[in-house]
Structure 1
Amino acid sequence: MKKRFVHALLLLMMFSVALAGCGSSSTPAKEESSPATTETKNEEQPKEKVKLSLWHNFTGEDLRAKAMRGIIDQFQKDHANVQLDIQAIPPDGYRQRLKTVAAANELPDVFIMHPGTIAKEFSSAGLVQPLNDLLDSNPAWKDGYLPNSFDDFTFDGKTYSAPMGLSPTSILYYNKTILTENGLTVPKTWDELLNAVKVLKEKNIIPIALGNKAPWLAQSSILSSLADRVTGTEWFDKAVAQDGAKFTDPEFVQALTYLQQLGTTGAFQEGFNAIDTTQMEQLYAQGKAAMIIEGGWAVTNLVATAPKDVLAATGVAVLPSIPNGKGDPNSVSGATGVGPALSSKVEGAKKDIANQLILALAGPEAQKTTLEANQLVSFKVDLDKSKVEPLFADLYSLVNSVKRTPVYDSKLTSAATETVNNGLQELLLGAKPEEIAKKIQDAQEQGLKE
């Protein structure tokens, strides 16, 4: 046995030497790919053409989308050796497209990834690779973030993306002129909201425009904050973990009942499940609706589309408080924004270029550009109010004065997220809250087992 082992070992050593000789006769072995740094120069780029696929969801005409596309265009100009294969996918269908290609293990080289559940599922499946080395090699970038900014992208000590923004999801946008002309003020309590709905409906004004065709909106922008006001964040965290709380508990059923009440009292226009967020924003921009409930990203859209008088009359607030609620009413649901992710298949010279693209999309300069495009960031950048719209300055002040609570789809399993999204469409059309709660509970329970 010992002789045979020694003989096999000698053969293996001879084979290794032969391989090394073959390698030295052509080109030197490639060095381990090193992370990009802010000092990367064009002359350091490899001479051969590098092909890189990029998916993003910056398809609109708002300032933030234009700014991001501008960064990508500039990257292409600065890297003549790089051939980018770009797919720009509208936000409403973006997550599903990603999940579809992920299921086939065909993710693009670099893509915009949502924090929380998707990031966790992609990382645990080995579909994306961590960015720790890239972040560590750029300390001014890594250390420039606000505390806990990487939490929704970090799993088992590895960070898989860097936030490109900060996304409060439940902002109440209201038209001051419409409210004042009808003897109303921005509703701060649930009763005040229901009264505003009644008064506005009598005047044939849509109280709250809703575009829930892509059903994430009711979940992310309304239920996430509304339910937290009823149940409190501690209950939600326990229900997510299925540890001492369930979505069939009375407090969550009550939260669903409050949301359904908005539907039954006519707070939303007819056909709200048949129009998208762009059409919803148009109803508001045209002065046909007094309010909308959407995320902080709506500011850039309104700035791009709303008439000046409507824009000047627009104010921002948190959702109203709930009677006897367990949650903090001075809060808004939110999460760190999306961030660039790197496919686990990318390596070598291609990885070097991909790292440079990620740095261009989310590095310090990109953070400054994003903020000046009326989009909140979780990076330490001073806001120059002279470079942004007054509405964005108001949003900036609001978000920095309230507590942040979880967004449902950033914590629930994918199965439960899909169930709650579809369930809320049914709920607003009259389904029983208890039945919707049971579906969500079953989906979350099953999702944790998979």
Structure 2
Amino acid sequence: MKAKGKIGLLLLIVALLLSACGGESGEKAEGSKGKEEKVKLTIWHNFAGDDLRAKTVRSFIDQYKQDHPNVELDAQAIPPDGYRQRLSTVAAANEMPDLFFVYAGSHSSELYNAKLLQPVTEALDAHPEWRDKFLPGAFDAYKFEADQVYSVPLGMSATSILYYNTSLFEKYNVKVPTTWDEMMTAIKVFNENKITPIALGNKAPWVAQSTIIGSLADRVTGTDWFKNAVAQKDAKFTDPQFVEALGYFKELVDNKAFQEGANSIDNTQAEQYFIQGNAAMMISGAWTLTNLAASATEEQMKAIDVTVLPAIPGGKGDPNTITGGAGGGLALSSRTEGKAKEAALELIYAVSGPEAQKAIAESNSMVMYDTEIDQAKVTSLYYKAFNLVKKTGITPVYDAYLSADAADVINNGLQEIMMGGTPESVAQKVQDAQARSVTP
């Protein structure tokens, strides 16, 4: 009995030792594995507000953090007013976060030229069913070299939507214009009935340029001509087709398309003038959808529909287009690599993927993505505009391509035409300013 007791005790001790050793090695393995997979990732963005879009984007960042416990995510939401300055400061010191929000245009191209970005093409190629549902031109602003994309847009800029009051068109038996002659007829009928044909608030002179002339001119000249004129290669802003485009704008002015004093009221005042039924039409951007959602009744908005500007006879541009382009998106630091890069690309997909695009659209914000939305979650006017944009092409907004000097000239030049200036004079000034920027 004594010997058996000793043997039993010995076996128990051995079993306990083996168990302890096994547990220790398991803990070490688990700890080693956990340590190996732990990734630190930083992201900066400017979705800091209380608006629905900002809350939506932040919710997808939070969801990613919850779904990836191995990632130590440092997410900073910086108010838009100070965002670019904060980013410029760390850019100067080459201390960029792993991911950061960038704007399409000069902002992202300057960061690319400073070698602070790397492509995010891998994320798109890993999900071709997602990549292929972006609208045409969605990546154009972020393709700084062939076959490489440097950001995925979270939104869309649409600047030349033709809003019209269906009640007024029905009351005065006016056809919604699809040709220039029909537009002139509509303007004539509404003026005869003491209704302003087109509401315009051009106190800040970018409005007429951003909402009207880019789209109108593209119908006359075509997009290729405009890009060549910007580059000053085989095209100039004094060419007959651009003078003709400015002539169509002058025709609107001469036929009293806009209300008196359009150069002295702002865009918000024009929106209110329109939604209150004082004007039959308004040519404006997607921002009007947001503004009216906050200030107009649903009954007022149900009376509004949207379309594109009418075709120009003999024009070289596609008439089924609006001016606009990609909104901002997340960019990847050129210094991020290894596991952190893998995690960052996954985060881009999480925040810019199909579910996120749908949710952003349902926050009454335009996206450059072909998605279906729940009509009950958006305003009636947004739903109409969203479906319009999905079926139209996108052409350049002038001030996104012109030099800063030339953009100021065209902005002020349209005000001049509204006060009696000539298309030829304005065209010459735009040409001189753009030529100086290309060959100073």
How many angstroms apart in 2 are the aligned matches of 1:164 and 1:332?
19
Q: After superposition, where does 1:106-185 map in structure 2 within 5 Å? A: 112-126=101-115, 128-132=117-121, 135=124, 141-142=130-131, 144-146=133-135, 148-157=137-146, 158-185=148-175
Q: What SS does the corresponding residue of 1:367 show, helix, strand or coil?
A: helix
Q: TM-score, normalised by structure 2?
A: 0.74
Deviation at 1:319, TM superposition (A): 0.8
Task: Give the one of 76, 79, 82 matched to 2:74.
Answer: 82
Q: After superposition, where does 1:151-230 map in structure 2 within 5 Å? A: 151-157=140-146, 158-230=148-220
1:71 counterpart residue number: 57
Task: Give the one of 305, 308, 327 matched to 2:317.
Answer: 327
Q: Is the 8 A contact 2:301 2:380 kept in 1?
A: no
Q: 1:367 to 1:73 in 2, by over 3 A?
A: closer
Q: Is the 8 A contact 1:117 1:414 kept in 2?
A: no
Q: Which one-letter code corresponds to 1:162 in the other structure?
A: V
CA RMSD of aligned residues (A): 3.8
Structure 2 residue 417 is the aligned partner of structure 1 residue 427: yes
How many angstroms apart in 2 are the aligned matches of 1:427 and 1:100?
40
How many angstroms apart in 2 are the aligned matches of 1:287 and 1:162?
39
1:242 counterpart residue number: 232
Structure 2 residue 306 is the aligned partner of structure 1 residue 306: no
Q: Is the 8 A contact 1:333 1:405 kept in 2?
A: yes
Q: 1:51 to 1:229 in 2, by over 3 A?
A: closer
For residues 198-229 of structure 1, give each alpha carbon's deviation from its aligned partner in whole angstroms, at most 9, with x where no partner exists: 44344443321223344333222211110112
1:39 counterpart residue number: none
The percent of aligned pairs where both chains have the same amino acid is 44
In structure 1, runs of 5+ residues without a counterpart are 1-42
Q: 1:292 to 1:341 in 2, by over 3 A?
A: farther
Q: What SS does the corresponding residue of 2:152 show, helix, strand or coil?
A: coil
Q: 1:322 to 1:144 in 2, by over 3 A?
A: closer
Q: 1:52 to 1:156 in 2, by over 3 A?
A: closer
Deviation at 1:154, TM superposition (A): 0.7
For residues 381-436 of structure 1, give each alpha carbon's deviation from its aligned partner in whole angstroms, at most 9, with x where no partner exists: 23444544443443344334444333323433444334323333333333332222
Q: Is the 8 A contact 1:285 1:305 kept in 2?
A: no
Deviation at 1:275, TM superposition (A): 3.9
Task: Give the one of 41, 45, 48 matched to 1:54.
Answer: 45
1:293 counterpart residue number: 283
For residues 125-169 of structure 1, give each alpha carbon's deviation from its aligned partner in whole angstroms, at most 9, with x where no partner exists: 446554345555666654553454312211123422211134433
How many angstroms apart in 2 are the aligned matches of 1:426 and 1:345?
49
Deviation at 1:252, TM superposition (A): 0.4
2:406 counterpart residue number: 416
Q: Is the 8 A contact 2:136 2:393 kept in 1?
A: no
In structure 2, runs of 5+ residues without a counterpart are 1-36, 66-71
1:407 counterpart residue number: 397
How many angstroms apart in 2 are the aligned matches of 1:336 and 1:290?
29
Q: What SS does the corresponding residue of 2:79 show, helix, strand or coil?
A: strand
How many angstroms apart in 2 are the aligned matches of 1:120 and 1:209?
35
2:357 counterpart residue number: 367
2:28 counterpart residue number: none
Deviation at 1:193, TM superposition (A): 2.4
How many angstroms apart in 2 are the aligned matches of 1:283 and 1:127?
46
How many angstroms apart in 2 are the aligned matches of 1:384 and 1:85?
28
Q: What SS does the corresponding residue of 1:247 show, helix, strand or coil?
A: coil
2:369 counterpart residue number: 379
2:308 counterpart residue number: 318
1:251 counterpart residue number: 241
